[in-house]
C-alpha cells in the first residue's frame, strides 16, 4: 500500500466491496496460534481452549467522536482499536482479535482508507491482536467505524465492575485529564484556522496532551503488571467518559458508596498549565473530561503494599457503605457530591 504521490488518487468505487477488503487487509499477518480461520469466510474461527472469551464493541461516528480536520486517518485507525482494547483490559483480560467495520461516503479516497488501516495494523502489531473480519458499506455522509474486540482471560482472573467491597482502596493508572485538554487545544486551533487559514500554530508545548487525545494507549501493561504483582482487582472499569462517571458505575454495580480525594488525583503538569490557559479547574477536567483510557479499579487493603510506590498506580480513595453516597473530599476537607458529568454523545 505504498503511496505514489505522482499518481492521481484512486476511487474506492472502482474496486468494489470485496476487492477493497482484500486490498486493505492484504498485509495483515496472523499472529495468534488460536486463529484457525481469519478474514475470508462468513465468520472467524477461534480456538480459545479453557480460557474465557471476552468481546466488546464500540462505534465511532464522524462529527460526534472525531473530527477529521485535525485527526489523522492513521491515528484514527489506531485509536479505533485502542477504544475497544481498553474495554478488554478493564475485564483484566488480554485482547486477541478484532473486527473492523466502516461506512464511508464517496469523498474518501482509497489512499485515505489505506492510512486508516495502516493505523489499525499498527495497533494490531502493538497489542499483538489479529484482525479477523469486518464489513464495509457506503454512507451518505461522513465516516462511521465499528470495532469489535475479543479477548481471553482465565476464570480466576476475570474482573467485573460489581466486585468491590466496603473499604476497598480505589486505584487509578497513569494520569488524568490530558485527553480532554488536548481536545480543547485542537478545537481552539481548528476555530482559528477557519478564520485564518494561513495560521501556523505552535503545538510543541501541548505535545503530551494532544497525543493523549489523538493517539491514546490502552493499559494492557497494567493488566500484566497487576498479574506480576499478584494483585487481582476486586472491580475495574476503564476511564472513557470521565472519572466521576466511571466511579459512579463502580458504585452502582457494587452497590456501594465511594470517597475520592481531590489532593490524590494524578494530574500531569502539562494539564495544569493548559487548564490555567483555558481558565479551567484541573479537578473538573479530571472528573468530567474523558478519553484518558486509564484503568480505575479497587483492591483489598491487604494488597496495598504490593502496589505501594509504583509510579504507574495511585490510590485516590476508598469504597464506602452505600448510604454514604459518592463523595469528593476537597483539599479544604469539605465534601462535594460526585455527579456523572462526563462526555456523552447525546
- What per-residue confidence (pLDDT) applies to 149? 96
Domain boundary among 102, 119, 153: 153
Q: What is the pLDDT of residue 2?
A: 53
Among the candidates 153, 188, 213, a domain finishes at 153
- How many domains, in total, are found in the chain? 2
Question: Which residue positions in the chain have pLDDT lower than 70?
Answer: 1-5, 41-43, 342-346
* 148 and 263 housed in the same domain: no
Whether residue 267 sits in one domain with residue 238: yes
- pLDDT recorded at residue 303: 98
Per-residue pLDDT at 4: 59
User: For residue 164, is it within any domain?
Assistant: no
Residue 158 lies in a domain: no
What is the reported pLDDT for 346?
37
| Residues pairing with 133 in the sheet | 99
Nearest to 235 by CA among 217, 214, 246, 250: 250
Residues 201 and 126 both lie in one domain = no
What residues pair up with 143 in beta bridges, in sequence order? 104
User: Measured between alpha carbons, how far is 84 from 90 in angstroms, rounded to an integer?
Assistant: 10
pLDDT of residue 43: 63
Distance of CA 108 to the CA centre of its chain: 25
Tell me which residue range forms the domain holding 23. Answer: 17-153
pLDDT at position 8? 81
The tens digit of pLDDT for each residue in 54-65 reads 999 999 999 999
| Same-domain status, 173 and 129 | no
Cα–Cα distance for residue pair 271/260, rounded to 1 Å: 20
Residue 60 domain-assigned (yes or no): yes
175 and 82 fall within a common domain: no
The predicted structure's pLDDT at residue 343 = 52
Which residues contact residue 295 at a Cβ distance below 8 angstroms, ignoring those fewer than 6 apart? 89, 90, 172, 173, 219, 222, 223, 236, 237, 238, 239
Residues 6+ apart with CB under 8 A from 204: none
Plot region of 241 (φ>0 → left; ψ -120 to 50 → alpha; else → beta):
alpha
Q: Give domain status of residue 200, yes or no.
A: yes
Q: Residue 280 maps to which CATH number? A: 3.90.650.10
Residues 133 and 212 in one domain: no
Domain check: are 21 and 106 in the same one?
A: yes
For residue 97, give the C-alpha cell. Answer: 482479535
Amino acid at each position: 500500500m505504498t503511496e505514489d504521490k505522482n499518481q492521481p488518487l484512486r476511487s474506492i468505487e472502482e474496486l468494489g466491496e470485496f476487492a477493497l477488503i482484500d486490498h486493505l487487509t492484504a498485509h495483515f499477518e496472523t499472529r495468534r496460534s488460536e486463529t484457525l480461520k481469519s478474514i475470508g469466510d462468513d465468520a472467524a474461527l477461534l480456538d480459545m481452549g479453557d480460557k474465557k472469551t471476552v468481546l466488546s464493541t464500540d462505534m465511532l461516528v464522524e462529527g460526534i467522536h472525531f473530527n477529521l480536520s485535525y485527526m489523522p486517518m492513521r491515528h484514527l485507525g489506531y485509536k479505533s482499536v485502542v477504544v475497544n482494547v481498553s474495554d478488554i483490559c478493564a475485564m483484566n483480560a488480554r485482547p486477541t482479535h478484532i473486527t473492523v467495520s466502516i461506512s464511508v461516503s464517496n469523498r474518501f479516497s482509497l489512499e485515505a482508507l489505506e492510512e486508516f488501516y495502516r493505523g489499525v495494523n499498527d495497533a494490531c502489531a502493538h497489542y499483538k491482536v489479529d484482525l479477523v473480519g469486518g464489513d464495509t458499506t457506503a454512507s451518505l455522509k461522513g465516516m462511521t467505524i465499528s470495532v469489535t474486540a475479543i479477548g481471553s482471560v482465565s476464570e480466576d482472573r476475570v474482573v467485573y465492575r460489581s466486585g468491590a467491597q466496603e473499604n476497598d482502596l480505589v486505584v487509578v493508572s497513569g494520569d488524568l485529564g490530558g485527553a480532554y485538554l488536548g481536545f480543547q487545544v485542537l478545537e481552539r486551533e481548528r476555530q482559528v484556522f477557519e478564520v485564518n487559514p494561513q495560521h501556523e500554530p505552535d503545538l510543541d508545548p501541548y505535545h503530551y496532551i494532544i497525543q493523549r487525545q489523538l493517539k491514546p494507549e490502552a493499559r494492557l501493561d497494567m493488566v500484566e503488571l497487576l498479574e506480576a504483582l499478584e494483585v487481582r482487582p476486586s472491580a475495574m472499569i476503564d476511564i472513557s467518559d470521565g472519572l466521576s462517571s466511571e466511579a459512579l458505575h463502580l458504585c452502582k454495580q457494587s452497590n456501594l458508596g465511594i470517597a475520592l480525594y481531590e489532593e490524590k488525583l494524578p494530574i500531569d503538569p502539562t494539564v495544569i498549565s493548559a487548564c490555567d490557559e483555558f481558565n479551567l479547574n484541573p479537578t473538573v477536567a479530571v472528573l468530567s473530561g474523558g478519553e484518558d483510557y486509564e484503568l480505575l479499579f479497587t483492591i483489598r487493603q491487604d494488597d496495598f503494599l504490593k502496589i505501594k510506590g509504583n509510579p504507574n498506580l495511585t490510590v485516590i480513595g476508598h469504597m464506602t457503605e452505600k448510604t454514604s453516597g459518592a463523595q469528593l473530599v476537597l483539599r479544604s476537607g469539605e465534601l462535594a457530591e460526585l455527579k456523572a458529568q462526563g462526555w456523552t454523545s447525546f
